Amino acid sequence: MVMETRSTKRKKLWFASNHEGDNDLDRITDLPDAILHHILLLLPLKSIAQTSVLSQRWRSLWSSFPDLDFNTMNPSKDICSTPMLKSKRWWSSMDFIANVLALRDKHSDLRTLRFRAHLSFSHLNGLIRRAIRCNVQELDVEVATGDYFNFPRGVIMSESLRVLKLRSRYPGFRLLPSSVMNIGFQSLHTLSLSLVILYEQSSLLDLFTESSFPCLKNLNLDACFGMKHLKVCCRALEDLTLENCFQLNSLDICCAKLESLRVASCFDAYSDKTWFKVNAPRLRSISWEYNSITASSSLVNLTSLHKASVGFSLLHENLSVEKLQSVCNFLSGLSHVHSLTLESQCVEILSNKNDIINLLHPFNNLKVLELHTGFEKNNVPGLAFLFRSSPTLHTLILKIINDLKIERRQWNRDLWDLSTSAEEQYWESQLQTLRPFLDHLKVVKIHGFLECENEVSLAKFLLKHGKDLQEMTLCAAKFCNSKDSLRRQKVRSQIMGFSWASSNAKIVFLLSSS
């Protein structure tokens, strides 16, 4: 047995007298509310509610918790069995949400309320009124109702609300008159509305004005059925997204601070009177996806444009003169862009309508060009035009759409016995007009490479004349099979076997994994 010294005994007595009751000390509980709320935010709401059984202190933390995301949980009996809630009978998720709001500390503000549920309009209004009384800052709601409902008036005059996201399932909700809507939302900076019924209010020309929504920075409108005319002029707006507005006839955007614009699946494809206008001197990014071609288009003052992606939805190939001119005006309005992606429909239009391409403005600032194309023979003039219009291009990306057509997979058996093909002769005929493009091009990536005549001719032309070319990547399509291996090797040998303009160029052959 080891004997304790006097010094050891004195140290033990001092420690015991100065730390009496430490066994019962809960250091986490003593942390400030803000820190504990931040820690709890990492947990699902169900787990946060369960902490209320620990002590009065944790019940207080639960009743004042500022971020209620009911999408992270399903109401269940174990939550209802907590001492704080066991006296309540919870018939549905709406009862659960309503009771949590009713039991909140009246002196604690609500930062976020997020839920999705099937409910009546009166229940929705009741929940929103309770949230507004708690000075909610972010309201994110997805609801399904048995009938159309009106936009909840309770949120309009809220001084605390910063973010409002209201998504409706079928049948949707109706907006209130603009005269009612635009007198409020003085603090709102993000608005997102989905499945809005506007058949009785088809023109939203006086809702998003310079005087309304003074702090609005982000606006997202999705599936606005019946909306035919939209004007957006909010002075603080920076990000605008418009989706699935198939009946839209006119779109007018004039926002001095707008930086990002995305319009997808919009405009009435059967109307000959559709138009849009964009005036946004600070616009940095525009995404135009699967929209019907409008009869008129105008892009004004896009001098800050950095990135653009353009794709159209075509019902038929026979476009009117007005719509062809509209495509020309649209692309000319992007002339300041630095990075441009064109979907296959754009390449097809430029390839088949030679009468409009001479009207386009050159892309003198363009550094990255990505083209999606079927690379048929009729596409070659359109590609040549785009190359001529990009005199300072750094990177060219071609994504060839291989739809397994026989003509796209067909080998020209005599091609490799000829010194030059018709396509090579065409590219050589364009050499002088393509000199600026060839003198600046550094990187080429071709995806879906099948070693067919069109793409091989282009690859050889770029290698032969690209004086500053540094890297070419040819990524073969997945469905190239072993039977083609011998011919593929012969093609690659030809590509590698002639003199290149750039001594620094390297070429990489890859096989696509997708």
> pLDDT tens, 35-86?
888 888 888 888 888 888 888 888 888 888 899 998 887 544 443 444 434 4
Q: Does the pLDDT of residue 89 top 70, yes or no?
A: no
- Residue 107, Cβ density class (10 Å: 0-12 exposed, 13-18 middle, ≥19 buried): exposed
Please give the pLDDT value at position 102.
87
Q: Does the pLDDT of residue 359 top 50, yes or no?
A: yes
* Prior bond of 171 cis (ω within 30°): yes
Average pLDDT value for residue range 87-105: 69
Rounded Cα distance between 274 and 271, Å, is 6
* pLDDT tens-place string over residues 22-47: 544 567 777 888 888 888 888 888 88
Q: Does the pLDDT of residue 512 top 80, yes or no?
A: no
Q: Does the pLDDT of residue 292 top 50, yes or no?
A: yes
End-to-end CA distance of the chain: 74
**Do 94 and 119 contact (CB within 8 A), yes or no?**
yes
CATH 3.40.1350, applies to 340-402+421-513: no
Q: Tell me the DSSP string of 203-260.
A: EEEEEE-SSSSTT--EEEEEEEET--EEEE--TT--EEEEE--TT--EEEEE-TT--E
Average pLDDT value for residue range 82-99: 55
* pLDDT tens-place string over residues 469-490: 999 999 986 655 555 666 677 7
* pLDDT tens-place string over residues 449-460: 877 778 888 999
Q: Does the pLDDT of residue 18 top 80, yes or no?
A: no
The DSSP letter of residue 2 is: P
pTM: 0.85
Rounded Cα distance between 137 and 131, Å, is 9
Please give the pLDDT value at position 80.
41
**Do 260 and 284 contact (CB within 8 A), yes or no?**
yes
Q: Tell me the DSSP string of 17-42.
A: HHSTTGGG--TTTTS-HHHHHHHHTT
Q: Tell me which residue has tokens 């040998």.
A: 493
Average pLDDT value for residue range 181-210: 88
Phi/psi-derived region of residue 401, left when phi > 0, alpha when psi is between -120 and 50, beta in every other case: beta
Please give the pLDDT value at position 409.
46
**Do 314 and 333 contact (CB within 8 A), yes or no?**
no
